[in-house]
Chains A and B, each alone.
Chain A
Amino acid sequence: MRFKTRNFDTSSVALSTEDLSVHLPDTPGQPQVLKQIDVTIRQGETVCLVGESGSGKSVTSLAIMGLLPEALKVTEGRINLQDRDLLPLSRAQMRELRAARIAMIFQEPMTALNPVLRVGGQIMEVMELHTQLPAAERRARAISIMEQVHLPDVERVFRSYPHQLSGGQRQRIMIAMALVLEPVLLIADEPTTALDVTTQQQILSLIEELQANHGTAVLFITHDMGVVAEIADTVYVMKHGEIVEHGPVEHVLRQPQADYTRDLLASVPSLSPRPARPEGDEIVLKVEALNKIYGGGGILKKLPQTHAAKEVSFTLTRGRTLGIVGESGSGKSTVARCIMRLIDPTSGRIMLDGQDIAGLSRNALRPHRKKLQVVFQDPMRSLNPRWTIAESLIEGPLNYGTPRSEAMAEAARMLTVVGLPENALKRYPHQFSGGQRQRIAIARAVMMRPDVLVADEAVSALDVSVQAQVLKLLEQLQDELGIAIVFITHDLRVAAQICDEVIVMQRGAVVEHGTAAEVLVSPAHAYTRSLIEAAPGRMWDFQNFKEMPEVTHANPS
Chain B
Amino acid sequence: MSQAPQPSSAMQPVLRVIGLPHLGIGPKIAALVLALIVAATILAPWLAPHDPLTMDPLVRLKGPMEGHPLGTDNYGRDILSRVLIGGRLSLVIGIAAAVVSVILGLVIGMIAGFFHTADAIIMRMMDALMAIPAILLAIALVALNGPSVGSVIAAITIPEIPRVVRLVRAVVLGAREEPYVEAAIALGSSTFKILTRHLLPNTLAPLIVQGTYILASAILTEAILSFLGAGVSTETPTWGNIMAEGRQFFRIKPDLILYPGVMLSLCILSINLLGDAARDMLDPRLKKRAG
Contacts and interface: CB of A to CB of B under 8 A. Distances in A.
Q: Do chains A and B make direct contact within the complex (CB under 8 angstroms)?
A: yes
Given A71-B290, A373-B187, 15 more contacts: A54-B1, A69-B291, A340-B186, A369-B185, A374-B186, A377-B179, A382-B183, A386-B7, A386-B201, A395-B187, A396-B189, A399-B193, A430-B5, A430-B6, A431-B5
B10 interface: yes
A370 B188 contact: yes
A527 interface: no
Given A69-B290, A381-B179, A384-B198, A342 B7 contact: no
Interface string B182-220: 111111111101000010010000000000000000000
A430 B8 contact: yes
Residue in B3, B9, B179 with the greatest tally of chain A CB atoms within 10 Å: B179
B290 A448 contact: no
A381 B188 contact: no
A444 interface: yes
15 contacts: A69-B291, A342-B182, A376-B183, A378-B179, A382-B179, A384-B184, A384-B198, A385-B7, A396-B189, A399-B188, A399-B190, A428-B8, A430-B8, A434-B2, A444-B187
B184 to A, nearest CB: 6
Interface in B1-28: 1-3, 5-10
Given A385-B7, A386-B7, A54 B183 contact: no
A400 interface: yes
A396 B184 CA distance: 8
B186 A372 contact: yes
Contacts of B56: none
Interface residues of B, number: 27
B283 interface: no
B180 interface: yes
Interface of A is mostly: loop
A395 B3 CA distance: 26
Interface of A: 53-54, 58, 69-71, 340, 342, 362, 366, 369-370, 372-374, 376-378, 380-386, 388, 392, 395-396, 399-400, 428-431, 434, 441, 444-445, 448
A386 B187 CA distance: 18
Which 7 pairs show the lowest CB-CB distances between chains A and B?
A69-B290, A430-B5, A396-B187, A428-B8, A70-B291, A376-B179, A369-B188
Contact of A374 (B5, B182, B191): B182
B187 A58 contact: no
A70 B187 contact: no
A205 to B, nearest CB: 30
B185 to A, nearest CB: 7
Interface in B155-196: 178-180, 182-191, 193
Contacts of A376: 179, 182-183
A428 B182 contact: no
B198 A428 contact: no
B8 A384 contact: no
Contacts of B290: 69-71
A7 B180 CA distance: 52
Interface in B277-291: 290-291
Contacts of A378: 179
Contact of B186 (A53, A54, A369, A400): A369
Given A70-B290, A70-B291, A342-B182, A385 B188 contact: no
A507 B189 CA distance: 33
A400 B179 contact: no
Contacts of B180: 381-384, 392
A342 B181 CA distance: 11
Contacts of A53: 1-2
A445 B178 CA distance: 16
Given A70-B290, A70-B291, A376-B183, A366 B188 contact: yes
A70 B185 CA distance: 41
B6 A395 contact: no
A445 to B, nearest CB: 8
A342 B185 contact: yes
Contacts of B10: 386
A428 B190 contact: no
Contacts of A392: 180
Contacts of B182: 340, 342, 374, 376
Interface in B239-291: 290-291
A475 to B, nearest CB: 22
A176 B1 CA distance: 27
Contacts of A395: 184, 187, 189
